[in-house]
Every structure is written in structure tokens, then in C-alpha cells.
Structure 1
């Protein structure tokens, strides 16, 4: 039965069930990352006012959640094959609700952003266009989809910076490039996890077309280049030692994550473990940029809680969200 055929059943769902469906769609364990991207951007641009920091954090998070709603809307047919337990193919959320919620979150994100700097409009339009293009076009074509996801992280950093400055400062360029490369690599590891479903759905991802080993090798090279770019960016940071130190910690975690992804017979669940480590590692890496702009005294008190939040929710929710045969108690508690 298709997602559209089951969708009318949503009217018979209880309010807690509907709330749970939205909570799962948000992937809350990922939302700390866009928040840190915005924070890193605004601090690197010299922003310190509460309004600047609030908008820099909220706007990327709302845009990120919008991307999840829109992505699930466009991916509903693929998810019906590979991940039928997700909110739309399971009938717990209709495609129309996902589309409306995605548009609403994007509108709120734009309203917050342009309230402080109207110049952000073309950057925001590029980001939202990238979100739609990723799910509607690029994801099924292979590396262009991975690259578009990396671009979105760089744009989130830029939007955060533009809450405090007319345009992103040039000193952020190495960091933006580093995050672009890093998140392209992270998304590639995600396609290794989804290779069976992508093949069944006709998606021509890198591991489907060239094999898992080639995908992991390409991801490793991009990840290393991304780490190097962010380390290079420490040379122009206000506090270079702080940025370089946390970037080194991230490099160790990321190296372990990629080592997990390198067995000869890489399973989807092992690929998920690798990606979970990369989700944690990118929080440390983005906090390195925060430290480079504002010091350890700002970065570490932020990093600790977001790491705990992300890791705990990943443990409770992620396997159930990715695998239809995961234990039913995983991901069931909002």
C-alpha cells in the first residue's frame, strides 16, 4: 500500500502519536549541528548581542527541520521500499502535512533571518533551493547529492554570520570550505548505510554505482581535506590555539568513525555506527570554530550539553528511524 493510500488514517491517530511522528521527522539528534553552525558564524563575525545569537541559532535549526520535512515528503516513495516504519510511509503523517510543515519552518527561518539583515535573502534562497534540489533531483544522481548537502552546511554558517555582519567575513572562507568537504564526506557514509534501499529504489548513489569501498575511500579523502581546511582556518581565527586544539580532538573521533566504516564486509548497521560517530565529531569540529572566535570559555560549556543531547537521542531513536526491523522500543519515546 502506498503512503498516499495510508495517509487518510492519520485522522484517526491520537495527539501523542501525531506529536511523536513530528518529533521523529525532526531527527532532534541532528539539530544541535545547525545551531552550532549558526553560533560559529555569528561569533566569528563579531556578533555578541542576544538578538544576533538567538537568530543565528534558530534560523539554521528551523531551516534544517524544514529540510527534514521536505526531504521526507520527496523521499516517501523510496522510504516506502526501504524504511516503511518512517512517519509518512507508515501512515502516521500525510505527505501534505509534511509539505506544509516544511514550508512553515522555512518561512519562520526566513522571517527571523531577514529581520536582522535583508541581504541574507539570496543566501537563504540558495539554501532552500539546495534542500529541495537535494531530495527532488540530486540525491538520486550520486555524488552531486552528497556535495549539495555539504554546501548546505557552509550556507548555514554564512547565514549565522550575516546576523551580525552585512556579509560573511573573508576569514570564514577556510572554515566554510572545510565544513563543505566534511559534510560531503559524512553524507557519503550515510549512503553506504542506505545502499540496499537506494539500489532497490533506482537511486544511483556512489556506493551503488562504484561500490562501498570506493565510497568509503572517497569519503575519507574528503574528510581529511575538510579537517585540514578548518585547521588552516585557525591561522586567521581570533584564538587559533583553541580552534586548532578542538579540531585535533575532532580529527581523532573522525578517524575512529572512518576506521569503523572500513571492514571488508561493511554492514548497514556498522555504517550507521560510523555515521553516528561522525554526527558527534562534527559537533566537536564546529565547536572548534566557536572556540576560535570566542575561546574555550564559550565553546566547552556549549559543547558538553549538545554532545550529551545528541548522543542520548541517537541511542534512543536512530536505529528505529533507519531500520524497519529495529526493536520496537527504540525511537518510540518523544
Structure 2
């Protein structure tokens, strides 16, 4: 009797185990059916930028410490973005405006009418169409005097559809300090860390390159798999050496005159082409040089003709005196 009871107990126990096991398997199968593979269309990709960008060290000479403290302020001055998302709020304009004030951003790219800047590891495109462009002392300047690595303050408005695009009202370049001198021209005879910069005003500037000079080559950039669009610069820059400079290279040269000398000590030399006006407009410098050479040749010919005429007159004088 006891054996029968024992066998019956084992059968019931095994039945319970089998029932629970089936429940576990069923639950696992159900859970597996609920797992949804990630949508590949939702994955993000970073752009491949050609050529590869390089970080240019910031140009901070003669900038006060307080002016190097970064600041980013975004303030909605008309309307409320949250209200727009829920269909509007009472007494609020449908179209809002969001102002942005940036202090001490670093220029990472330059083109003909825009900048790429970075602050707190956030990238912004800056539209300069309506912007006043200023030096540090609030004097007007233009984009041809800018360099990658410059420190800028920007005030403007965020684009309504792209919060990484700023429509600038003012851009103040803190790296263009009071006594910084800037020349644009063509490089001639680069040798032994010196060259002649021929400017559009027909000036020949004796430029000296030292160990502190940054020589920057700029060029247009192409992006592949762009996401998000703000991470795609319009131009990039990288450092090069003096030996990379060539005759007839267009160059923006920034620096100061050497004391008691006619030599110009370069702080930054920008060559290449990032789309700015200077790198693309027609220059008369080459024509001026050719005209000067032609004028010298004409003067030499005139002197030669005069010498021949003088020689003939002397010969005639000798003949007359002999008679």
C-alpha cells in the first residue's frame, strides 16, 4: 500500500514539473516573439569628410583672459516653441524668434558667406548675409582677414527649422587685435623662411617666417553620408610647412612689422582656396609685375638708343673738326 502511494506521489510530482516546464517554455517562446529587431532606418551615421579635417590651434594672442571665457545664451524672444508644438498658446505669436549670443567660439571653417564655429563641443553654421563683421576693437573688417582658429563672438537668431544654423547680426573677431596688420597678395621667391608678398597696391612686403608662424592651407570639403547636416563643414584647414609654399600662391598674411626694420614677421599665413572672395577674384598683381618689367625694358631700350645717338654725334663732331 505504501509503495502504491509512493509511486502515485512521484507521478503527480513529475506531472507538476512537466506542467511548469511547459509554461516556462511557452513563456520564453512568447517573449521571443515580442522581441522586435531594431529598425535600421533609425540608426544614425556620421559624415565622412574629404579631406580629413584638422584642428587648428586657437589664435589667442593679445586676448584678455576674461574674453576667453566661453558663454552660450539662447533666449526665445517671441512666441514659445512648446506652445507651437501643442497648437499655440493664447496671446503668443505663431512665428517665434530665438536669439542666440555666443562668446569665445572657435572658427573651424570659412567660406564666402558663412562660418563654421564650435563652442562647448557644439557645432554651428553662421550665415553672414546680414552680419556686421568687426575686429576686436569694434572696427569694421571683412571675411578675407579671418583665419581658422580665430576666436569670435556672435549675436544673431537661430533658424526656425535648423537650430544649428545662426543668422548672424554681428560677428566680432577677438583674434583681430588692435595692432595686427594684414596683407593679401601673391607669394614670390619663397626661400630660407622668407618670401616677397606682392600686394594689389604694388607693395613688396618682405615676410619672415619663424617657429611661431602658423601656415594654414584651406580647401573646400565634400561630405558623404551627411547626418546631422551641421557636422558637414563647407571648408577645412590643416597646417603645412614653409616648404609647401609655392611661387604665385595667393596668401593672406597676418602679423607685425619687425622693430626698426622693413621686415614683416608673419603670425599666420593662409593659402589655398576655401571659397572666399580673395582666393577667387581676378588679381591685377601679375599684370602689374609684367607692366613693370615691360617698363624697365622700354627704359633700357631708350637708354640704348640715346647712347647710340650720342655716339653718332661724337663721330660727326670728329669729322667736322678734322676738316
- Structure richer in strand, relative to its length: 2
- Structure richer in helix, relative to its length: 1
Q: Which has the higher contact order (CA 8 A, sep 6+)?
A: 1
TM-score by length of 1: 0.23
Which entry has the higher C-alpha Rg, 1 or 2? 2
TM-score by length of 2: 0.24
